[in-house]
Structure 1
Amino acid sequence: MSQEPVRDPSGYETVRSVDPAVADALEDELGRQRDTLAMIASENHVSEAVLEAQGSELTNKYAEGYPGERYYAGCEHADTVEELAIERAKELWGAEHVNVQPHSGTQANMGVYTAILEPGDRILSLDLNHGGHLSHGHPANFTGQTYEVEQYEVDPETGYLDYEGLRETAESFNPDVIVSGFSAYPREVEFERVQAAAEAVDAYHLADIAHITGLVAAGVHESPVGVADFVTGSTHKTIRAGRGGIIMCDEEHADDIDAAVFPGAQGGPLMHNVAGKAVGFKEALAPAFEDYAEQVVTNAQVLADRLQERGLEVVSGGTDTHLVLVDLRPSHPDTTGKEVEAALEEAGLVLNANTVPGETRSPFNPSGIRAGTPALTTRGFREAEMERVADLIADVVEAPDDADVRAAAAETVDGLTDDHPLYE
């Protein structure tokens, strides 16, 4: 009886030779990214160096524990990589202690909650419809199922965070932790005011900078490091590093945070992702990254201004960050965000439908759209290109069912992607 030979690990098999179906999907995805404009605010295009690190041999290594204190042998090189990621993160954000092991921003938040809360403790956070995040206490998320949650909102007239309302809610609710940060809030967060509210009720302050890690690192957004008790973030959005999460805190909380991440909330770290974080952090320490972050914000502001010139309602009247939130109800009351999302995707502009303050529809078919500029800025887009992109969005919003309008937009997108190639 013949036997299948054992695969030689020294061989250099390709995905194509082993699994053509997956190879086809990967090639199609590369083509999709090259040929469309990525405007989902939580997405970016990492460098080929980060891609290489994330596809490295560290995929094979279990490294439960922390540098110098691993559960398994053979972790000396994993230690080097994690230590590099930690030290670079400390330099980028000025934190005393950094944990780079969380698998995502949500896992980073879970690590903090596990460290400081007991089931049934109280969280005060921004309402999802007003720009908050699922992991800040939504009933469908573990936070809403484990803790008692109250939420604050933005001012319905201005679209800005209602800090006075936040403080009043904190005083009546008496939370154990106040969460600042967002997934769809276009203005700079005044972390000092949130911290004052937390101190007034003897609560912790967790600042979730998932979307703005890069903007904070570059100094184009106020930093909560040294202000809030805990800072969490994602490492693949505006910071443009390996996919995952991060926790930063003062040294006094270091042991509790590390124990909460491992073994408290997760097992072995994804060391290939940690390698991607280390490489991306090094790239972000270069002077050019500050120019990039500044252009991200400038591009978002140009996008917001032009959309308003075209008659669309931009929540809060503009943006200080990398994202623009459009409320379709004033200008197009019968058009939903999902309709616009689908029409724009057909034209090659990929963004997402999003809830807006005072949402009157379902979160699955909301009244707004959210557009971000990190990935376009990575491709080299500047003000002129952003005005063209805004016009394409406005054209499609005006006539989402018009195939000719979508085709014309798609032709313009083809020209823009040709002028700004990706991974070539």
Structure 2
Amino acid sequence: MSYDRVRAVDEDVADALAGERQRQRDTLAMIASENHVSEAVLAAQGSELTNKYAEGYPGERYYGGCEYADDVEELAIERAKDLWGAEHVNVQPHSGSSSNMAVYLAVLEPGDKILSLDLTHGGHLSHGHDANFAGKLYDVTHYEVGAETGRLDYDSLARKAEEAEPDIIVSGFSAYPRQVDWEAIQAAADSVGAYHMADIAHITGLVAAGEHPSPVGVADFVTGSTHKTIRAGRGGLIMCGEEHADAIDTAVFPGLQGGPLMHNVAGKAVGFGEALEPEYREYAAQVVQNAEVLGEALKENGFSLVSGGTDTHLVLADLRDSHPDTTGSEAEEALAEVGIVLNGNTVPGETRSAFNPSGIRAGTPALTTRGFEEPEMRRVGDLIARVVDNIGDEEVYADVAAEVQELCDAHPIYE
């Protein structure tokens, strides 16, 4: 992709865009929420739909000239229904957090009670952290993973639900490496008369491909991101049964948003179409296998993994046993120097702060998109260990950086 047209009017922005393109080519993207979309998705998101307002829904817009916007949104909706088997889908939310907010707006009143997974145990800000809108508007209680197992304790969750009597239970995660028993959480919600919202932001693509059990048809509401393990336009979506369709649509528009980002919806439609192809299932299976191999490599190098491993696309390592003097932030910074981009992350029983946590989180979606398989992932695990074992050793950094560049050159993106 050329940025010549940008450069003709704005060299500074063109330089930044070209720099970002090169950065992605020459680094290993291992932030679990990131991926590389196809050039078709990029083109759709840069289309003339950028210019179009389309407040409302297909066939019921508040502006004229929406016939092609309607076509695009209807395609995105129908493809999402095919992917996840949902009765009703709203593809307009700007993000996964916006999707969660719309569900709350649809069924809760300020001050109502939310029961959700604690942030340091793998939850998400929008599940009710006190710095987030959800924590400010609602009365939030958290459940946790088991201290010894690092896994969700569904009996404990059910007891917590009985004590808290929430109006909605939120399931899903941003840093939990195991499969979720949606039925067990639904049973806890049913027992106290609560709604159940399953946030599959991280595993949207794994669910679509059958690599993780689906909460669609189990939970009252399913929210997700469209750009993590599924390579579509960056944003969110909401799925529910027909009985909640009107409430959800009204919460998104006019309750939460004005005009949808139609160029972004076009990217979703294209990405969903790509995910309906047989090759996508092979990709999703490789994502999970790559994460398992990455985890094995880290364990062989002495790292402790939360829950002992992974069933999904991410690995969460707790550095407190293997590297007690190294924080997740220090590891993140050192790895960035050699071209391995991941993030420091809180871990269950966190003894430091979210700004300087005790763990690191690594994901495999983007590397799998580049064509990495088990041998490459084992090598990446070894490279991560070499850096974290030798914080500050510039000679080691130089050697690892050269190997990272070799891997990047062998698996190019956007040629």
* TM-score greater than 0.5 by the shorter chain: yes
1:153-196 CA-to-partner distances (Å, cap 9, x unmatched) read 00010110011111000000000000000000000001000000
2:188 alignment partner in structure 1: 197
Q: 1:50 aligns with which of 11, 16, 41?
A: 41
How far the C-alpha of 1:96 sits from its partner, in A, is: 0.2
Residue 341 of structure 1 aligns with which residue?
332
Of 71, 74, 93, the residue aligned with 1:83 is 74
Which whole-Å CA distance do the structure 1 matches of 2:374 and 2:4 have between them? 44
Match of 1:280, SS state, is: helix
Among 214, 219, 222, which residue is 1:223 paired with?
214
Q: Distance in 2 between matches of 1:23 and 1:113?
A: 40
CA distance in 2, matches of 1:422, 1:331: 34
Equivalent AA in structure 2 for residue 236 of structure 1: H
* Counterpart amino acid of residue 228 in structure 1: A
Which residue in the other structure is 1:131 paired with?
A: 122
What's the Cα RMSD here? 0.8
Alignment of 1:381-420 (within 5 A): 381-420=372-411
Once the two structures are superposed, residues 20-70 of structure 1 have per-residue CA deviations (whole angstroms, 9 ceiling, x without a partner) of: 100000000000000000000000000000000000000000000000000
SS state of the match for residue 322, structure 2? coil
Partner of 1:144: 135
- Alpha-carbon distance in structure 1 between the residues aligned to 2:4 and 2:159: 61
Q: Which amino acid aligns with 1:354?
A: N
Deviation (angstroms), 1:13: 7.8
Give, in angstroms, the shift of residue 78 of structure 1. 0.2
The answer for the alignment partner of 2:283 in structure 1 is 292
Match of 1:369 among 355, 360, 367: 360
SS of the residue corresponding to residue 14 of structure 1 reads helix
Residue 28 (str. 1) matches residue 16 (str. 2): no
Partner Cα distance (1:396, 1:239) in 2: 30
DSSP-derived class of the 2:166 partner: coil
Letter in 1 for 2:127: H
2:227 to 209, 222, 236: 236
Partner of 2:176: 185
Q: Deviations over 1:252-280 (max 9, x none)?
A: 00000000000001110000000000000
Q: Which letter does structure 1 place at the counterpart of 2:111?
A: G
CA distance in 2, matches of 1:285, 1:400: 44
Which ranges of 4 or more aligned residues in structure 1 deviate by more than 3 Å?
Answer: none
| Alignment partner of 1:261 out of 246, 252, 255 | 252
Extract unaligned runs of 5+ from structure 2: none
What is the SS of the residue equivalent to 2:142? strand
Letter in 1 for 2:170: V
Aligned residues: 413
Give CA-to-partner distance per residue, 1:385-420, whole Å, 9 cap, x none: 000000000001101111111111100001000000
Where does residue 332 of structure 1 map in the other structure? Answer: 323
In structure 2, what is the Cα distance between the partners aligned to 1:403 and 1:339? 15
In structure 2, what is the Cα distance between the partners aligned to 1:13 and 1:271?
A: 25
Cα deviation for residue 334 of structure 1 reads: 1.0
TM-score, with length taken from structure 2:
0.99
Of 237, 244, 255 in structure 2, the residue corresponding to residue 246 of structure 1 is 237
Q: Following the alignment from structure 2 to structure 1, what is the Cα–Cα distance between the partners of residues 63 and 152?
A: 47
- 2:147 and 2:281 map into 1 onto residues whose CA distance is 33
Q: How many Å separate the matches in 1 of 2:346 and 2:392?
A: 22
* Partner deviation per Cα, 1:249-307 (whole Å, 9 max, x = no partner): 00000000000000001110000000000000000000000000000000000000110
Letter in 2 for 1:69: E
| Matching of residues 288-327 of structure 1 within 5 Å | 288-327=279-318
Distance 1:67-1:302 versus aligned 2 partners, 3 A rule: same
Given residue 119 of structure 1, which amino acid in structure 2 is its aligned partner? Answer: P
Match of 1:101 among 73, 81, 92: 92
- Letter paired with 1:48: E
CA distance in 1, matches of 2:355, 2:325: 16
